[in-house]
């Protein structure tokens, strides 16, 4: 195992949204970081948009698909880890309606594959499965803040797949005594968030409008839905803080405090971008979920009491950083 103080962590989904931010955090804490990449086609270089060359040079990339049990076994036969952060997933709820089967295989079976390989080869390795607030489905606002004891009742195939992995990992943690835990992150955004996701879609369009690449009309989805939004960098810090403090088989909500309609986040970005009064908004049916979740407000007391975690990055900074990210990515 790694020397005392420095540990060896594997991140699945390192080429996704949260993975590179977690890699930054772990490298800055002097840990050894391994990143799982599906194929050796150079995709890992894509994370340089949020990862410095200094950090990138410290990451060791491993190649394999976690949906392939044999491929994952080969990795755990040859490498030893102190912990695994399983962030890899098909993470876009609307896409899950298009490919529910593929989404389930990735989000449930892929998660189980990693759990089984850890149990077989490295049963002392800590395992965090990144679940989602979507497993709770669509509780009514009058039911109060969503805590971990709320019923698991997903309303989209994405949530169903995540719930399958969530149940499995928690059961193995409790029944088999394996060092496994689950995080259920609520809405988070920031640099590198894909443009097909809400808030980032708005930021992407605002920058295109500023650069003259799009008419001054922004296409939006359901703007009355209410969410608590935190910064992705605060979110991955919660994952990290839990890695040495979790109780096996437990789930932990990760979320902020202030509930706002989606329109609120767009209004802030319009102000930040200097486009107030200069654009129109239009509902795009393609951006409206087949089944909407009207409100999500988390109770993350369990996480906070255990670790002392709380979100530190102001919403305005998160949204400004997201706009700046797209400003760098989009050429005029």
pLDDT given for residue 325 in this prediction: 98
Within 8 A by CB and 6+ apart from 149, the residues are: none
**Token pair for 306:** 């255990």
Mean pLDDT by groups of 10 residues along the chain of 332 residues: 74 97 98 92 91 97 96 96 97 92 97 98 98 95 94 96 98 98 98 95 97 96 95 98 98 97 98 96 86 91 98 98 97 78
Q: What is the pLDDT of residue 332?
A: 67
Please report the pLDDT score of residue 42 as a whole number. Answer: 80
Domain boundaries, the chain: 8-190+230-256+297-312
Interacting residues of 30 by C-beta distance below 8 A, sequence separation 6+:
5, 6
Which residues neighbour 244 within 8 Å (Cβ) at sequence distance 6 or greater? Answer: 126
Residues with Cβ within 8 Å of residue 102, at least 6 apart in sequence: 90
According to CATH, the superfamily of the domain at 8-190+230-256+297-312 is NAD(P)-binding Rossmann-like Domain (3.40.50.720)
């Amino acid at each position: 195992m790694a020397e005392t103080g420095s540990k060896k962590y594997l991140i699945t989904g390192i080429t996704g949204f949260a993975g590179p931010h977690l890699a930054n955090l772990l490298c800055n804490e002097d840990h050894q970081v391994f990143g799982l990449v599906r194929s050796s086609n150079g995709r890992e270089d894509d994370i340089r948009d949020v990862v410095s060359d200094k950090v990138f040079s410290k990451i060791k990339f491993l190649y394999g698909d976690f949906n392939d049990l044999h491929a994952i076994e080969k990795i755990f036969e040859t490498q030893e880890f102190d912990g695994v952060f399983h962030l890899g997933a098909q993470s876009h709820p609307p896409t899950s309606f298009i490919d529910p089967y593929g989404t389930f295989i990735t989000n449930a079976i892929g998660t189980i594959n990693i759990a089984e390989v850890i149990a077989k080869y490295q049963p002392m390795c800590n395992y965090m499965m990144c679940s989602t607030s979507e497993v709770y489905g669509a509780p009514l606002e009058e039911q109060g803040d969503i805590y971990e004891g709320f019923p698991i009742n997903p309303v989209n195939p994405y949530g169903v797949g995540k719930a399958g992995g969530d149940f499995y990992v928690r059961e193995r943690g409790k029944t088999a005594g394996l060092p496994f835990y689950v995080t259920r992150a609520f809405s988070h955004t920031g640099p590198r968030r894909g443009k097909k996701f809400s808030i980032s879609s708005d930021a992407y369009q605002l920058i295109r409008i500023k650069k003259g690449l799009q008419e001054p009309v922004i296409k939006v989805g359901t703007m009355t839905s209410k969410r608590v939004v935190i910064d992705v960098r605060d979110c991955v810090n919660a994952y990290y803080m839990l890695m040495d403090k979790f109780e096996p088989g437990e789930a932990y909500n990760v979320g902020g405090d202030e509930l706002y309609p989606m329109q609120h986040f767009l209004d802030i970005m319009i102000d930040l971008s200097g486009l107030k009064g200069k654009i129109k908004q239009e509902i795009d049916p393609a951006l409206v979920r087949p089944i909407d979740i009207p409100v999500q407000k988390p109770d993350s007391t369990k996480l906070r009491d255990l670790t002392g975690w709380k979100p530190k990055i102001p919403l305005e900074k998160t949204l400004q950083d997201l706009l700046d990210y797209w400003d760098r990515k989009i050429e005029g």
